[in-house]
Structure 1
Amino acid sequence: MPPPHAPRTVYTLRACTQPRSRHERASQDWVARRLASLCGWAYGGAHEARSAPAWHPYFVPDETLDLEQATRLGIQGEDDLFGGVVPHAFVASKVITHGVPDTASPVPRGWSHALAKRLDGAVLPGFTAFDAGAIATAGQQLLAHGGRVRVKEAQARGGHGQHLAADAGSLRRIAAELDPEALHRHGVVIEQHLDEATTCSVGEIRVAGRRLAYLGIQHEVTDRHGRAVYGGSSLRVLEGGMDTLGALARNDGERAAIALARRYDAAVEAAYPGFFASRRNYDVVAGLDARGQQRCGVLEQSWRVGGASPAELVALAAFLQPHRPAAVEATCRESHDPAHAPPPGADTLFHDPEAAHGPVIKYARVEGIDGHPA
């Protein structure tokens, strides 16, 4: 075993089987380089699966790893990666947020029916389905309460792969358009839709013996096709774990978001022994249901490099300064506007005004320290 705080080599790891855009790969590479720089470690570039990594490696995967992948790489705990490890691959996706419509519904091996009970009240009304029949059953139950339902494909990111249904007919059309093999393998979430919704980010990172927690909001932008997509996150960050975030809460809504995220985090650890993560991010939505009542619930988790990770790392850099702040405000932004330029002092992760798909620019910066502008 290497001694504590021994020098390490940081590698990016392309674990995801889905194609990743140029800006996502650029973001992952930037995170790995920045972590290496902040921790005083070496940067080893992309890990080649056929070669053995250097002694005492540290990985930055583009996906939450399953136990088999982690074991093959020698990852034993949260100190060995920026991300997380789950006992079964499906645990890393949004499908664990809800239970299935009934006990006869198909589920993958290792599924925990107990988790849905632990999460009751911490998430929105909804179900997970792995076949078209379960989608119909779940959707009809939700539609009976009024309003629309949202169908979310498990593997989609950044607001993509989501569909709204207002009645049984539109729900059937959505189900018919889904790839049956992908549905059976990965599943979908069918969930109550909220109007006038805002999404809060609650999370923490644990890196090289340091622990930071944050509370923030997600931004929405319009892409070049007129669709609303993820546009970045603004975070308020302090030292410690999620149990310290009450000091940052400004209202009852934020205090509720923190409590729900912590409950979700604890429920997963109880349901799936062996899970561990050094990066934990929870999306908590608040909005109005069909009756105009305020609802709040955790949408999903992220235990990998995510949209907010650049903001997390520029905040970490501030806390590593000799005069450590009590709190930091950090942001990362994505824009699809070719005319958008990064502001002074920002760390630019990706910038290509000619990019054919996705954002043309992504940057991160510290906005304020201890409540004052940076």
Structure 2
Amino acid sequence: MADPPAAPVRGVLLLRTGQACAEHERVVQQQLAQSLAQVLRLPFLGAASMLPNSTSCYLIPDATLIAPQPGIATELDLYGALVSHPFVAGKAISHPLVDSTATAPQGWSSEFIARAAGAVLPGFSAFDRHDALRAGRLLLPAGPLRAKLVEGRAGRGQCVLHDERQLQAWLDELPDALLREQGVVLEQNLTQVSTYSVGQLRVGPWCLSYFGQQRLTTANDGATVYGGSDLWLVRGGYSCLGDHFQSPLIRLAIAKTRCYEEAAEVSFKPFIASRRNCDVAIGLAPTGQQLMGVLEQSWRIGGASSAEIQALQAFAADPDLQHLCASSWELYGKNPVVPPQGRILYQGNDPEVGPITKGVSIRPWQPPVTP
């Protein structure tokens, strides 16, 4: 069924929601918003912390929005997502509670958990210290667990815990309000991990889908963090994407992403998402068994968005173009080696992370080395 027509749009607005945002992220977001305005052939209205009353806008929020939001009726109204409850926007959506007596946030859906069970890794979400300890006691006999803060980004805000004492110490550092409002995630820890991305963007009349491989890098403080993504994009939906790959692993990653997203669409109302991205990990469990599952979703402007939007510009400019490759990159240090023909989106000494260079590049389609 075709989407209903959107209300008349007079411009593109970058919406600042008050989320913590580093300088380099703010600068890149503004450039990407300007690029989307060019693709849509609309004026860029700049950034604002609230919606103007007199203007109908195409919104680019810096976080997933929580319903209700007047003016957002369909995916044609924004680059990002509108969801029913705050927890739906974060990592906690991905795992069940420890049991039926556990503390649950408003809107928690057992239906989603049941529908998405085959798409995620073994683990639990918890919104209470006692529930998190109970979850840890179930997971730790199988081996180390990975503990995650729901708001952690770029690989930060998580650690590997080996016993209940370490879990107790980690929980003791967390405020009760954070546990209650955001929750935490405890997953079976995998080794020899590779992280992929499967996603889709629907902007105006265009629909692009992609498979991607994430890269890690070393930040200025020595931490191992997200370093960018290499995307293989095609014109069309997930079925078109699957047609371009013979690798069973890639097809399985696409299938798990579709299962996860479809579970969210059915289980949470309202749910509107024009920007979709799932991190999918594959690695070894402590038993030696190979596992694959969706780690989390990102329904907001994110690390791979620069590659997505650069690719969208190319597809919009050439109606015959059917597939291409695009890469985002984040390079730390004062004198990084920029990829050939790369477009720099930010280069400077960010007050939070130090010297960093961020950019994007595109290249003709070349199938990935089969994982």
**Measured at CA, do residues 107 and 87 of structure 1 come closer, stay the same or move farther in structure 2, by a change above 3 Å?**
same
CA–CA distance in 1 between the matches of 2:367 and 2:49?
43
| 1:302-321 aligned within 5 A | 302-321=298-317
Pairs within 5 Å for 1:1-374: 8-15=10-17, 17-49=18-50, 51-52=52-53, 54=55, 56-68=56-68, 70-71=69-70, 74-145=71-142, 147-322=143-318, 324-353=320-349, 356-357=352-353, 360-369=356-365
Instruction: Give a deviation string over 1:179-220, Cα, whole Å, max 9, x none.
Output: 221111100011011101011100100001110000011110
- Percent identity for Structure 1 against Structure 2: 39
CA 139–343 in structure 1, closer or farther in 2 if over 3 Å, else same: same
3-state SS, counterpart of residue 160 of structure 1: coil
| TM-score, normalised by the number of residues in structure 2 | 0.94
Q: How far does residue 248 in structure 1 lie from its aligned partner after superposition?
A: 3.0
Deviation at 1:347, TM superposition (A): 2.3
Distance in 2 (CA, whole Å) between partners of 1:30 and 1:189 is 33
CA contact (8 A) 2:6 2:73 kept: no
Distance 1:321 1:295 in 2: 40
Structure 2 counterpart of 1:45, one-letter code: G
Q: Given that residues 93 and 301 in structure 1 are in contact (C-alpha distance below 8 angstroms), is that contact kept between their aligned partners in structure 2?
A: yes
Contact 1:214 1:236 in 2 (8 A): yes
What letter is aligned with 1:59? Answer: L
Contact kept, 8 Å, 2:210 with 2:232, in 1: the verdict is yes
With over 3 angstroms needed to count, the CA separation of the structure-2 counterparts of 1:197 and 1:105, relative to structure 1, is same
Q: Distance in 1 between matches of 2:366 and 2:156?
A: 35
* 8 Å contact kept, 1:143–1:149: yes
Structure 1 unaligned regions, length at least 5? none
Backbone CA RMSD of aligned residues: 2.0
Change (3 A) 1:354 1:97: closer
2:139 alignment partner, SS class: helix
- SS state at 1:76 partner: coil
* 1:370, distance to aligned residue in structure 2 (A): 6.1
Per-residue deviation, 1:268:
0.6
Cα distance per residue 1:346-374 (max 9 Å; x no partner): 222111046551661100110224669xx
Which amino acid is the alignment partner of residue 158 of structure 2? Q
Give the letter aligned to residue 27 of structure 2. Answer: A
Deviation for aligned residue 1:226: 1.3
- Over 3 Å counting, the alpha-carbon distance change for 1:356 and 1:96 in structure 2 is closer
Task: Give SS of 1:221's match.
Answer: strand
> Hey, which bits of structure 1, 4+ residues long, moved more than 4 A?
2-7, 353-356
Cα deviation per residue 1:61-95 (whole Å; 9 max; x = unaligned)?
01000112x22xx1111111100000111111110
Structure 1 stretch 316-325 or stretch 290-299: which is displaced more?
316-325
Distance 1:44 1:168, change over 3 A: same
SS state of the match for residue 304, structure 1? coil
Q: Give yes or no for contact 2:6–2:77 (8 Å, CA) kept in 1.
A: no
> What is the one-letter code of the residue matched to 1:165?
L
Residues 217-266 of structure 1 show CA distances to partners (whole Å, capped at 9, x for unaligned) of 11100111211101110000001112222123342111110010000000
When normalised by structure 1's length, the TM-score is: 0.93
Structure 2 CA distance for partners of 1:88 and 1:235, relative to 1, 3 Å: same
Task: Supply the distance in 1 between the matched residues of 2:95 and 2:238 (Cα, whole angstroms).
Answer: 23
Shift in CA distance, 359/232, structure 1 to aligned 2, threshold 3 Å: farther
Partners of 2:8 and 2:50 in 1: how far apart? 24
The number of equivalent residue pairs is 365
- Mapped partners of 1:21, 1:53: distance in 2: 30
User: Does structure 2 conserve the Cα–Cα contact (< 8 Å) formed by 1:325 and 1:369?
Assistant: no
CA distance 1:4–1:81, shift in 2 (3 Å): closer
In structure 1, how many angstroms separate the alpha carbons of the residues matched to 2:233 and 2:34? 21
DSSP-derived class of the 2:28 partner:
helix
Tell me, yes or no, if the aligned pair for 2:74 and 2:272 is still in contact at 8 Å: yes
